[in-house]
Structure 1
Amino acid sequence: MKLLIVDDETRTRELLRNYIPWGDIGIDDVDTARNGQVALELALEWKPDIILCDVRMPKLNGIDFARQYRETDPQCQILFLSGFSDKDYLKSAIHLKAFTYLEKPVNLNEVRAAVEAAVILRQVDIKKREEEQQYQAGVDRSLPILRQEMVRKLVCNPSSAHVEPALRSQETFLISREGPYTVTAANLYWDPSDLPEDPASTQEGILDRINRHPRIAELRILAGFDSHNQLVLVLSGEYRSSYREGRETIEEVDAIIRELAGAAIDLRLGIGEPVKSIVDIPASYKLASLASALQYYANGGRPVFADALGRHEPILMDWEEVRKLREQLRAGHLDEAKGIIRKWTAYARTRLDLNILRLKDTYFQFLLAIMETAVHIGMADQAEDTERRYMWKEIDRIPSLDALEQYVFAMLDACAEQTENSDGAGSGKMREIVRYIHSHFHEKGFTIRSIADHVQLSETYLCAYFKKQRGQTIKEFITDTRMNRAKELLRDMNVKLFEVAVRLGFADANYFTTFFKRNAGLTPSEYRERTVR
């Protein structure tokens, strides 16, 4: 702990500093000041735990110094010294919550005992505040989880016996127990090369920032992700599409949420119709989800209100169009194949199917037809289930109909390019893929997606193309590349094992050991012992 001694008498300062064994009572550092003004400047920077301060001093007396410093640090323990039995000073000291008041001339034993008692009190206070901070940190971590669970109950089962009693705690759940309410829902899209593919950590970060934002707290907005990974906000009050009915507030909330989500996330906010009571919240939530889905046809942008929904119908897969696509591809008619996809996109816009998974599935069927045709003409091996799942994951994170169409076009272009280069001229593309892997496999963030982006192919087509050309999967090739480099480094006894792991892009040396043993059948140390003599 730190002790500041403030006294205008040099002899008293030095006596107190040098003739009491402060370390024996828990004081680690001692400093002095000759008056209140110097003490204030020092204390504001140094932050003492205990101050032993004379009352009467030039420039700034002890009482005024303590009063000013108390505004910055109300927890500091202050002990006053004075050679005068002045009742006004005593009253001021009491008002400033001084720990004690000692008379001059000083008695070293009394000073030591008083400071020792102040140290104990300060330690108790620090421990108490640490416990409070730990408790508050636990509350801060649990609040987003509690609020998310409440959101899920409100949009699915608001009549639950647990809902009404829980909402009595407005400090926890923010929204009013009385309606009306407006629900918003937002679909979020991001590229795994920018953020983790698993949404849990990203969602947790977004909710944490939402729950800390002062304007969100001021508007008393309850936020959470539903079971479909939509961000759901429940607002007390009625908000509709006109500015006189609260549109400006919704646009403000939209801007805040977009900022908190970050530039890497494409967010589509839909707003449901206001409802009068808690039991009607699911109806507002359903409309909000549909309004969010409608933005898939408009490439996002401003929030969409439920009154914009209009007519929307299920999209029906036309297998005749799939057959035509195969025929055009086998005949090498790329423009005609693209025309079929453009026609399908125009049809999709007439239906405005708000079941986006069903919409995407129709394009997935076209993609499967492209892959099957590539197999048929010998441009790729038979697509495995893992490759099909890969392709579905890619289209699942596409945020708009236009982008979905462009993705299919990219697959068509890649297929056509491979057909044109079937005489071996495509080896340049393969060389670029291999070169990129050798140059970047050790870097943080290196993924198959980063390779695909570099050579301008989809992940799915890249995997199929690589396997066709090399006779092994791209993951197998990356593993072989890492293993070859690892063995090369291990043969150099001057390179430590953890350095080998770092150079190969492993953040954890233990994981590198596991990786090496799984692929080589022995640990890195065992390999080194056997190969280096």
Structure 2
Amino acid sequence: MKLLIIDDETRTRELLKNYIPWDTVGIDEVETARNGLQALEIAMEHKPDIILCDIRMPKMSGIEFASQYRETDPDCPIIFLSGFSDKEYLKSAIQLKVFTYIEKPVNLNEVRDVVESAIRLRKEEQKRKEEERKLQEGYDHSLPYLRQEMVRRLVSNPESPHVIPALRSRETFLLPAEGPFTIAVSSLYWSPFNLPEDPGVTQLRILEAISSCYYFNEMKALAGFDSLNHLVLILPGEYGSTYRKGRAEIEDVFSELRVIAGPTVDIRIGIGQTVFSHKEIPESYRMASLACAYQYYSSGSKPIFSDALDSHAPVVTNWEEVRMMRDQLRKGHVDEAKRIVGEWTAYARKQRDLDILRLKDTYFQFLIAIMETAVQLGLAEISKDTERRYMWKEIDRIPSLEELEQYVLSFLDAMAEPSDDEAGAGSGKMREIMRYIHAHFHEKGFTIRAIADHVQLSETYLCAYFKKHSRQTIKEYITDTRMNKAKELLSDQNVKMIEVALLIGMTDANYFTTFFKRNAGCTPSEFRERAAR
């Protein structure tokens, strides 16, 4: 703790500083000042925990000093020293919340005891503030979750008996007790190359930013993600699709969301019809969700209002089309397969199915047919369930029908015979892939997925692409790279076996031995003995 002693008498300052064992009461730093003016400068710099201050001093009195310093630290215990205990002084001391006062001439034991009491008070106050800070931090951290839970209840079961009583806490849930309300639903898309793959991480960041955003707090907007990972905003007020009805404010909401989400997140937003009671919120939410889904078919990303929805109908996988694609690929007719995808996209755009998961599943079936045919033709490895799940994850991140079509066509491009120009570009891409493998194959966490992210290709497409251009799988190439490095290291008798394993990316010496024998036909020790002859 720090103590500041202020007195215009040099003898008193020195007596108080040097003849009281301050360390025994918890004071480890003592500063002195000869008047209030000098004390202000010292206090601003050193931030004392306790102040001993004479009442009568030239240039600036103790009362004037305390009055000014209270603006900086309203809680610092101030102990006045005075030989003049008159009524006016006592009034000023009370107004300034002075801890106590000691009459001069001072008694050192009395001063020590009073300061010790002030220290206890200061510590209690600091402890109380720290507890309040932790409680506030806990509240601030939980606030986005509380609001999200309220959003989920309002869009699913607003007549739950717990909803209305909870909404009375306006500080927590912001919304007014009565409508009108307008619901906005946003779909968010991002690549794990730019942001964490786990949506919860990005969602929490966005919710915390909205919760602390002055704009949304002034608007009294309630935000949360629904069970489908859509961002839902419940906005107090009536907003429509024309600027006369508040379209400009909705565009401002959209702009604020884009700033909060950041440039690597693609946001689409749909606006439901205005409702006037809590029990109508689920219907507005449903319409806002449909309006948001409608944006999957548009090239722009401006807000779409539910009253702008045109006719829409479901799409269903056409298994005859899938079979035709498989047959065309087996014959090597990649262009015909592309034509089938293009026609399907034209059909999907006409239908405008607002169940986007159902739409994506039809393209996923085309992808499965492409990959199965690529395996049969020797252009890809056997497709596993894990690869199918990975392909679905990639499809789920695609924000528009146009990009969904391009994603599927990219797999067909991998199966087409490259032109001279494409072959040259392919050689450059292959060199980039191979350089990355040679630079990182020994590192912990090295995976085919890491290579795919680096060259910005899907993992499945990367495998097919590599097999087509090198006539071996990417896994075989990585194995060859590791084996060549292992043989080089084993030729040096000074390199220990475990060091060889670590240098090719394996932490288990037994596994390294199994791996080496499977690929070289002998154990690492046997290879080293032969190399030494």
Q: TM-score band, normalised by the shorter chain?
A: 0.7 to 0.9
On the 8 A contact 2:50/2:76 being kept in 1, the answer is yes
On the 8 A contact 2:463/2:473 being kept in 1, the answer is no
Larger Rg: 2
Partner amino acid, structure 2, of 1:309: L
On the 8 A contact 1:193/1:450 being kept in 2, the answer is no
1:41 positional shift: 2.0
1:340 positional shift: 2.8
Q: Return the alpha-carbon distance in structure 2 between the equivalents of residues 101 and 358 of structure 1.
A: 79
CA gap 1:429/1:301 in 2 versus in 1, 3 angstroms = closer
Q: Return the alpha-carbon distance in structure 1 between the equivalents of residues 150 and 509 of structure 2.
A: 46
Counterpart in 2 of 1:389?
389
On the 8 A contact 1:299/1:399 being kept in 2, the answer is no
Partner amino acid, structure 2, of 1:147: R
Q: Does 1:275 align with 2:262?
A: no
Moved more, 467-476 or 456-465: 467-476
Moved more, 145-154 or 245-254: 245-254
Q: Return the alpha-carbon distance in structure 1 between the equivalents of residues 407 and 371 of structure 2.
A: 14
Q: How big is each residue's C-alpha offset from its partner over 1:339-385, in whole Å with a ceiling of 9 and x where there is no partner?
A: 33222222222111111111111211221222122223221233222
Q: Return the alpha-carbon distance in structure 2 between the equivalents of residues 368 and 437 of structure 1.
A: 27
1:456 positional shift: 5.4
Aligned-partner SS, 1:251: helix
1:444 positional shift: 9.7
Question: Which consecutive unaligned segments of at least 5 residues does structure 1 have?
Answer: 506-511, 523-530
Counterpart in 2 of 1:109?
109
Q: Does 1:326 align with 2:326?
A: yes
Counterpart in 2 of 1:178?
178
On the 8 A contact 2:151/2:222 being kept in 1, the answer is yes
Counterpart in 2 of 1:316?
316
On the 8 A contact 1:374/1:415 being kept in 2, the answer is yes
Partner amino acid, structure 1, of 2:325: L
CA gap 1:321/1:299 in 2 versus in 1, 3 angstroms = same
CA gap 1:346/1:213 in 2 versus in 1, 3 angstroms = same
Q: How big is each residue's C-alpha offset from its partner over 1:474-504, in whole Å with a ceiling of 9 and x where there is no partner?
A: 89859969x969x99xx879x99xxx99x99
Partner amino acid, structure 2, of 1:111: V
Residue correspondence of structure 1 range 277-292 to structure 2 within 5 A: 277-292=277-292
CA gap 1:148/1:387 in 2 versus in 1, 3 angstroms = same
Residue correspondence of structure 1 range 241-390 to structure 2 within 5 A: 241-390=241-390
1:452 positional shift: 2.2
Counterpart in 2 of 1:237?
237
Counterpart in 1 of 2:145?
145
Counterpart in 1 of 2:188?
188
The share of aligned pairs that are identical, in percent, is 62
1:299 positional shift: 3.7
CA gap 1:457/1:472 in 2 versus in 1, 3 angstroms = closer
On the 8 A contact 1:372/1:383 being kept in 2, the answer is yes
Q: Return the alpha-carbon distance in structure 2 between the equivalents of residues 215 and 474 of structure 1.
A: 55
Partner amino acid, structure 1, of 2:105: P
Residue correspondence of structure 1 range 483-522 to structure 2 within 5 A: 516=508, 519=511
1:519 positional shift: 4.9
Aligned-partner SS, 2:51: strand
Counterpart in 1 of 2:97?
97
Residue correspondence of structure 1 range 40-79 to structure 2 within 5 A: 40-79=40-79
Aligned-partner SS, 2:416: helix
1:460 positional shift: 1.2
Question: Which consecutive unaligned segments of at least 5 residues does structure 2 have?
Answer: 515-527, 529-533
Aligned-partner SS, 1:8: coil
Counterpart in 2 of 1:10?
10
On the 8 A contact 1:437/1:478 being kept in 2, the answer is no
Aligned length: 506
CA gap 1:446/1:196 in 2 versus in 1, 3 angstroms = farther
Aligned-partner SS, 1:371: helix
RMSD value over aligned CA atoms?
Answer: 3.5
CA gap 1:189/1:447 in 2 versus in 1, 3 angstroms = farther
Q: Return the alpha-carbon distance in structure 1 between the equivalents of residues 13 and 253 of structure 2.
A: 59
Aligned-partner SS, 1:113: helix
Aligned-partner SS, 1:216: helix
On the 8 A contact 1:6/1:33 being kept in 2, the answer is yes
Q: Return the alpha-carbon distance in structure 2 between the equivalents of residues 31 and 105 of structure 1.
A: 21
Q: Return the alpha-carbon distance in structure 2 between the equivalents of residues 270 and 104 of structure 1.
A: 75
Q: How big is each residue's C-alpha offset from its partner over 1:90-144, in whole Å with a ceiling of 9 and x where there is no partner?
A: 2112101010112222221121111111000001111111111111111112221
On the 8 A contact 2:223/2:233 being kept in 1, the answer is yes
1:466 positional shift: 5.5
Q: Return the alpha-carbon distance in structure 2 between the equivalents of residues 289 and 98 of structure 1.
A: 61
On the 8 A contact 1:193/1:449 being kept in 2, the answer is no
Q: How big is each residue's C-alpha offset from its partner over 1:303-360, in whole Å with a ceiling of 9 and x where there is no partner?
A: 2211121211112333343344334434444444333322222222211111111111
Q: Return the alpha-carbon distance in structure 1 between the equivalents of residues 463 and 152 of structure 2.
A: 39
Partner amino acid, structure 2, of 1:229: N
CA gap 1:181/1:474 in 2 versus in 1, 3 angstroms = farther
Aligned-partner SS, 2:235: strand
Partner amino acid, structure 1, of 2:51: I
Counterpart in 2 of 1:527?
none
Moved more, 183-192 or 373-382: 373-382
Aligned-partner SS, 1:79: strand
On the 8 A contact 1:411/1:457 being kept in 2, the answer is no
CA gap 1:32/1:408 in 2 versus in 1, 3 angstroms = same
On the 8 A contact 1:367/1:408 being kept in 2, the answer is yes
What is the TM-score normalised by the length of structure 2?
0.85
Counterpart in 2 of 1:409?
409
CA gap 1:243/1:409 in 2 versus in 1, 3 angstroms = same
On the 8 A contact 1:441/1:478 being kept in 2, the answer is no
Partner amino acid, structure 2, of 1:89: Y
Counterpart in 2 of 1:33?
33
1:248 positional shift: 2.4
Aligned-partner SS, 1:134: helix
Q: Return the alpha-carbon distance in structure 1 between the equivalents of residues 477 and 256 of structure 2.
A: 40
On the 8 A contact 2:441/2:482 being kept in 1, the answer is no
CA gap 1:12/1:71 in 2 versus in 1, 3 angstroms = same
Q: How big is each residue's C-alpha offset from its partner over 1:224-264, in whole Å with a ceiling of 9 and x where there is no partner?
A: 11111111111222121222322222222222222222222
